[in-house]
Amino acid sequence: MTSLVATGHPLQRAGAWATAVIAEREDPSRVSVADLDTVASILAADVLAAAAAPKDTSRYDWWKVLFALYPNSKATHSKRPSDPDVLRPEIERLFAPDLSDAGMMRPCTFCTVGTAVVWAKSNLPLFDTSKALNTLPPGVPGWPVCRGCRIAMWALPYGAWVTAGSATVLSCEKDAAEREFARRNVWRARRVMQAGFTGMPAGTRPELVVLTALRDATDGLCATTLWSFKNDNQDPWLRVTRTRRAVPAFLAAVDGNAPLRRGWQLLSLALNRYDSQGRIAASGSGEAARLLFEAEDGRSRPLLGQLHRVLADADGAWSVTDREALVRLAFTYAEEVFGMETDLEPVATLIAEWIARGTSPRGRLAEYRKAALSDYQLGSLLVQAYTRLQLDGNKTPLAGPELWKPLIRRQPRAWEQRMLLFARVSVMLQQRGVVVGGKETDPEQERKIQELVDRPAFAEVRDDEYDGYHDYEMEQA
Ligand SMILES: [Zn+2]
């Protein structure tokens, strides 16, 4: 009989994977009763150490994590006993085996295994809020939760990407990616307990960990969902973001191709955010990773939109090589992730010609930049360019309306096509030395970029780099 099941509930599932990783088993179904005993005693020891930790220690950071997930539990209560030995029985009881003759058996809320233990919502993250994933039926004294699931729900912070106030878990079609995400987070949890959050690299994000896990553990198609939440008494929230199924194919394409890796690293560098003293406040590689996730509420910044911003920025100057790399990244994303196959060459040529032949190419580029993403404005600009070039006696055949119509009609992916068109036009102009100013290559900057391009594109900060980051944090403090 299996003692642990990874169910479809995202929090239980993340906890089940964490339990398997801590028990050093291949997957949750291999976790034995003896493994559950081992994991239960590890959880209890960590909870007790956190509950008794003085406020300015790194151990206290793990208490903050527990508080964010279980704000009303015995372990995090403000009136908890300061002596761990007094608190111990309460905590050990949370993970104790089910007694078969303990009274009425009910099916476990998560996995339906019979259990006599009923848990209050205070032990279950996200169960007592308006954003709850479940609500309790009237007249039921609490949630029936079997031992495996009780342990899983408290192993959750080990399998989740945690901060001092929130947690993020992953659901993925591929077990290998879920396991890899859990494995990295269990390692990180131990690191937080030892060194606290100040010992962690600044500005990394769960999205980057997911991309690393997908890259390392997946081939083929695989959709992922990230659930980020805070179980706060005052202001709980749940944010759900997804990647499209083809994202692993895109990751593989980028990883295996130097110009695409260059494009990805340039985008990441452009997304670095600095504080007032010029230090990195948010790492661009984490921000770039976020662009592959789409929010359920539609409030995310898609990758193509961000690439467009970077390429269309009138003040930004890219060398031809760099612009080509960024544009290639945009086209690869559109092909791999959206399955778009577009030949924008003739229309891009039309616009580039029109800009190049103006008395003020700069003025025409500004006009195009303004119209580039609007169906209506781009439509009138194309009519104007087409007519103008015809009147000027253009010798080569021009792209006619039948070729631009898909770009200015209200149809799926027309917006993406308009961004790709702009990208292509900007490369053409720069290659021809028209208007789009290039940047002198700074050898030092080029050396740094080349170093980044030589590495895998979606690598989380390596273990051996943590100490360097630690020093950086120390300098800040
Ligand atoms: Zn269960």
At 293, list the tokens: 């996730």
Q: Identify the burial level of 272 via C-beta atoms within 10 angstroms of its C-beta, where 0-12 means exposed, 13-18 middle and 19 or more buried.
A: middle
Q: Measured in angstroms, how far is the CA atom of residue 13 from the centroid of ligand 1? A: 11
Q: Measured in angstroms, how far is the CA atom of residue 108 from the centroid of ligand 1? A: 5
To the nearest 10°, report the CA torsion of 101, 104, 109, 111: 40
Q: Which residue has the higher pLDDT, 275 or 96?
A: 96
Q: Measured in angstroms, how far is the CA atom of residue 370 from the centroid of ligand 1? A: 57
Q: Measured in angstroms, how far is the CA atom of residue 40 from the centroid of ligand 1? A: 15
Q: What is the per-residue pLDDT for 463?
A: 42
Q: What is the per-residue pLDDT for 46?
A: 96
Q: Measured in angstroms, how far is the CA atom of residue 36 from the centroid of ligand 1? A: 13
Q: What is the per-residue pLDDT for 475?
A: 31
Q: What is the per-residue pLDDT for 113?
A: 92
pLDDT digits (tens, 9 = 90+) for 419-432: 999 999 999 999 99
Q: Measured in angstroms, how far is the CA atom of residue 111 from the centroid of ligand 1? A: 4
Q: What is the per-residue pLDDT for 160?
A: 96
Residue 218 has pLDDT above 80, yes or no: no
Q: Measured in angstroms, how far is the CA atom of residue 30 from the centroid of ligand 1? A: 15
Helix (H) / strand (E) containing 239 = strand 237-243
pLDDT band at 472; cut points 50, 70, 90: very low
Q: Measured in angstroms, how far is the CA atom of residue 69 from the centroid of ligand 1? A: 19
Q: What is the mean pLDDT of residues 399-418?
A: 89
Q: What is the mean pLDDT of residues 346-375?
A: 94
Residue 172 has pLDDT above 50, yes or no: yes
Q: Measured in angstroms, how far is the CA atom of residue 472 from the centroid of ligand 1? A: 44
pLDDT digits (tens, 9 = 90+) for 38-60: 999 999 999 999 999 998 888 89
Residue 434 has pLDDT above 60, yes or no: yes
- Rounded percentage of the chain residues whose pLDDT exceeds 70: 89
**Quick check: helix, strand or coil at residue 280?**
strand
At 398, list the tokens: 């021009």
Q: Measured in angstroms, how far is the CA atom of residue 71 from the centroid of ligand 1? A: 22
Q: Measured in angstroms, how far is the CA atom of residue 146 from the centroid of ligand 1? A: 4
Q: What is the torsional sign of CA 11, 17, 22, 28?
A: positive
Q: Measured in angstroms, how far is the CA atom of residue 148 from the centroid of ligand 1? A: 6
Q: Which residue has the higher pLDDT, 254 or 101?
A: 254
Residue 461 has pLDDT above 60, yes or no: no
Greatest alpha-carbon pair distance for the chain in Å reads 94
Measure the CA–CA gap between 233 and 283, rounded to whole angstroms.
30
**Contact status, residue 336 vs residue 292, Cβ threshold 8 Å:** no
Q: What is the per-residue pLDDT for 474?
A: 30
Q: What is the per-residue pLDDT for 464?
A: 38
Between the ranges 125-134, 136-145, 156-165, 448-457, where is the mean pLDDT highest? 156-165
Between the ranges 73-77, 149-153, 179-183, 271-275, where is the mean pLDDT highest? 149-153
Please list, residue by residue across 449-471, b when 16 or more beta carbons sit within 10 angstroms of its beta carbon and e when fewer do.
beebbeeebbebbeeeeeeebee
Q: Measured in angstroms, how far is the CA atom of residue 206 from the centroid of ligand 1? A: 27
pLDDT band at 356; cut points 50, 70, 90: very high
Q: Measured in angstroms, how far is the CA atom of residue 77 from the centroid of ligand 1? A: 26
Q: Which range, of 50-64, 248-262, 268-282, averages the lowest pLDDT?
A: 268-282
Q: What is the torsional sign of CA 68, 72, 74, 79?
A: positive
pLDDT band at 470; cut points 50, 70, 90: very low
Helices (H), 372-457: 375-391, 401-408, 414-431, 443-453
Q: What is the per-residue pLDDT for 465?
A: 40
Q: Which range, of 54-63, 249-258, 359-368, 441-450, averages the lowest pLDDT?
A: 441-450
Rg (CA), the chain: 27
Q: What is the per-residue pLDDT for 101?
A: 67
**Contact status, residue 167 vs residue 160, Cβ threshold 8 Å:** yes
Residue 149 has pLDDT above 60, yes or no: yes
Residue 267 has pLDDT above 90, yes or no: yes
Q: What is the per-residue pLDDT for 98?
A: 86
Domain residue ranges in the chain: 10-129+142-243, 247-440+449-453
Q: Measured in angstroms, how far is the CA atom of residue 145 from the centroid of ligand 1? A: 5
Mean pLDDT of the chain: 86
Q: Measured in angstroms, how far is the CA atom of residue 4 from the centroid of ligand 1? A: 7
Q: Measured in angstroms, how far is the CA atom of residue 109 from the centroid of ligand 1? A: 6
At 137, list the tokens: 């039926």
Q: Measured in angstroms, how far is the CA atom of residue 328 from the centroid of ligand 1? A: 48
- Full-model pTM: 0.84
Q: What is the per-residue pLDDT for 467?
A: 35
Q: What is the per-residue pLDDT for 130?
A: 46
Q: What is the per-residue pLDDT for 50?
A: 94
Q: Measured in angstroms, how far is the CA atom of residue 405 from the centroid of ligand 1? A: 56
DSSP 218-282: --S---EEEEEEE--SS--EEEEEEE-TTHHHHHHHHHT-HHHHHHHHHHHHHH-EE-TTS-EEE
Q: Measured in angstroms, how far is the CA atom of residue 28 from the centroid of ligand 1? A: 12
Residue 1 has pLDDT above 70, yes or no: no
Q: Measured in angstroms, how far is the CA atom of residue 140 from the centroid of ligand 1? A: 17
pLDDT band at 238; cut points 50, 70, 90: confident
Q: Measured in angstroms, how far is the CA atom of residue 38 from the centroid of ligand 1? A: 18
Q: Measured in angstroms, how far is the CA atom of residue 7 from the centroid of ligand 1? A: 8
Q: What is the per-residue pLDDT for 411?
A: 83
Q: What is the per-residue pLDDT for 80?
A: 85
Q: What is the mean pLDDT of residues 232-236?
A: 73
Q: Measured in angstroms, how far is the CA atom of residue 153 from the centroid of ligand 1? A: 10
Helix (H) / strand (E) containing 200 = none
Measure the CA–CA gap between 62 and 49, rounded to whole angstroms.
9
Q: What is the mean pLDDT of residues 10-19?
A: 96
Q: What is the mean pLDDT of residues 8-28?
A: 96
Q: What is the per-residue pLDDT for 476?
A: 31
